[in-house]
Structure 1
Amino acid sequence: MRQLFRNSVFVRWGAAFLGPHFFASLGALPRYFVEWKIYNKRATQQISFRDSYPCLGDRVAATPFDPHYFFQAAWLARRLQENKPSSHVDVGSSTMMINVLSAGVKTVFVDYRPLHVRLSNLSSLAGDIVRLPFQDGSITSLSCLHVLEHVGLGRYGDPIDPEGSLRAAAELQRVLKPGGTFFLSVPVGRERVCFNAHRVFRPSTVRSFFQDLRLDAFSLVDDAGQFNEDVPPEAASDVEYGCGLFEFVKARE
């Protein structure tokens, strides 16, 4: 029943006008019906309203994308290609990125909301980032992209905790093996809490969370959506809402 509702014509039409593009979608309606009429004149199989699925905001000059998620995935994939770990653990990052990474490296994905899929080279665990299901110093290659800023804000069903990001950072440090590499991305810029979506950090705050780790490299997606690779953390000093990409290494004992 729920699936039928999600696929209903009313839901599909409603979705066409949700979000920030309401007026653009409204303006595209006349063209939609003109093209409907043209199609029906030329086709042997006629369009029915019951099966209609208006996509009114996709006619754009260039392919749209989210710069944070696009560039952080590209950054991590290239780093893993260089490092060639035998296995990799990711905590809570984009599933659309993880499924591609697993084609090249055996990947374990951990999330508060477990991922129920079957895919070669990919295994999934249910886990809380503030209580990770791993022994101390057991992971050689670890990532957590655009996750730390959410912890403790309740957005994904996790308990409210103002110290959530700091607790999560301590756990990520704990499970990383001496000599291991940790890839982290978080929003950087003017430090603030945008309840209950996310936090934004100064790069210096992020570094203070990981005092047991050495920052080997920093990259930045700036406010213009441009990727700035291997720049000093100070490059984010004038950013309002950028994405900081931190490559940390844990000192060998």
Structure 2
Amino acid sequence: MSKILKFVLAYFGFYPSQLTGNLKGAPGFFKDLRKIKGTFSAKYPNWKFKYYPILLDKQDQSGKARGQYFYQDLYVANLIFKANPHRHVDIGSRIDGFIAHVASFRAVEVFDIRPLPENIQNVSFVQADLMNPIESLKECTDSLSCLHTIEHFGLGRYNDPIDIDGHLKGLESMYQLLKKDGIFYFSTQIGPDTLAFNAHRIFSISYLLELFKNKYEILTFSYIDDSDKLHVDATLSDELIKSNGGCKMGCGIFVLRKL
């Protein structure tokens, strides 16, 4: 089954692989059910017995250590732990991934156009549209992150205003937030320049480098390829830039210093 067909079916709530896995797991469930039912009532007469079949976990691994978000979140959080900045501000990164990692060892301030109703330890939250500059916070932080977020700005996916230049306005606002010599941890999707409405943009490395020119010094570049392999501190050679690391929809991770 093609990836496109799987995507379309999943979009309408049908997951063929999950159905197949559940069918394979059903005989094992009923075998185990017979075993436990034989002794349950006698051992625990005051307990309720309910049916709650989980049929896929016997086929699973101990965890899913894969995917762009998993690798980028862990990698960048480790960089921030080592850097130990005075203040760290984040723009729209994943709360249950990167922000959770950082909040486990330090305070972090999060700006996002989406609401965050939960009260999370070590996380202070401001709902804001970063396509509009925040003048009161100009040059407010020595450390800033924006992971896998800028590609969505201005596409309306998250109830943000439609703006074809939303990514440019967002990056300019972030530049203004950062102090001189401050460090910017930035990631986004890399590959041939593409607008996939209303999901995301994909940026070529050459396009991103042009945006950074005269604004940032590139300290390191890492990337996650289309097979979810993390390449740490990759050399930005002409060949890598031209090929986008062989990515159609990879993830480029830049560590930048504001000039």
| Same fold at TM > 0.5 | yes
Q: CA deviation at 1:61?
A: 4.0
Paired residues for 1:229-244 under 5 Å: 229-234=232-237, 235=240, 236-244=244-252
Residue by residue over 1:107-150, the C-alpha shift from the partner in whole angstroms, topping out at 9 and shown as x without a partner, is: 10111112223344321111112125452222210000010111
The aligned amino acid for 1:123 is S
d(CA) in 2 for partners of 1:36, 1:189: 49
TM-score (normalizing by structure 2): 0.80
Alignment CA distance shift 1:154-1:25 (3 Å): farther
d(CA) in 2 for partners of 1:26, 1:154: 39
Match status 1:36 vs 2:33? yes
The aligned amino acid for 2:152 is H
Q: State the percentage of identical aligned residues.
A: 28
Other-structure match for 1:84: 84
Other-structure match for 2:111: 110
Match status 1:250 vs 2:253? no
Residue by residue over 1:80-119, the C-alpha shift from the partner in whole angstroms, topping out at 9 and shown as x without a partner, is: 1221102200011011221331232221011111222334
d(CA) in 2 for partners of 1:202, 1:32: 48
The aligned amino acid for 1:69 is Y
Paired residues for 1:163-182 under 5 Å: 163-182=165-184
Query: 1:187 touches 1:242 (CA, 8 Å); kept in 2?
Result: yes
Q: CA deviation at 1:55?
A: 4.8
Query: 1:140 touches 1:176 (CA, 8 Å); kept in 2?
Result: yes
Alignment CA distance shift 1:132-1:57 (3 Å): farther
Pick the aligned partner of 2:229 from 226, 231, 234. Answer: 226
The aligned amino acid for 1:194 is A
Alignment CA distance shift 1:196-1:35 (3 Å): farther
Query: 1:111 touches 1:127 (CA, 8 Å); kept in 2?
Result: yes
SS at match of 2:145: strand
Residue by residue over 1:49-102, the C-alpha shift from the partner in whole angstroms, topping out at 9 and shown as x without a partner, is: 4xx253536622463234211211122122112211022000110112213312
Other-structure match for 2:7: none
Unmatched segments (≥5 aa) in structure 2: 1-12, 42-46
Query: 1:29 touches 1:56 (CA, 8 Å); kept in 2?
Result: no
Q: How many residues align?
A: 234
Match status 1:148 vs 2:150? yes
Pick the aligned partner of 1:208 from 210, 218, 225. Answer: 210
Residue by residue over 1:4-26, the C-alpha shift from the partner in whole angstroms, topping out at 9 and shown as x without a partner, is: xxxxxxxxxxxx96475332233
The aligned amino acid for 2:124 is S
CA RMSD of the aligned region, Å? 2.3
Alignment CA distance shift 1:19-1:121 (3 Å): farther
Unmatched segments (≥5 aa) in structure 1: 1-15
d(CA) in 2 for partners of 1:61, 1:125: 38
Other-structure match for 1:23: 20
SS at match of 1:77: helix
Query: 1:77 touches 1:101 (CA, 8 Å); kept in 2?
Result: yes
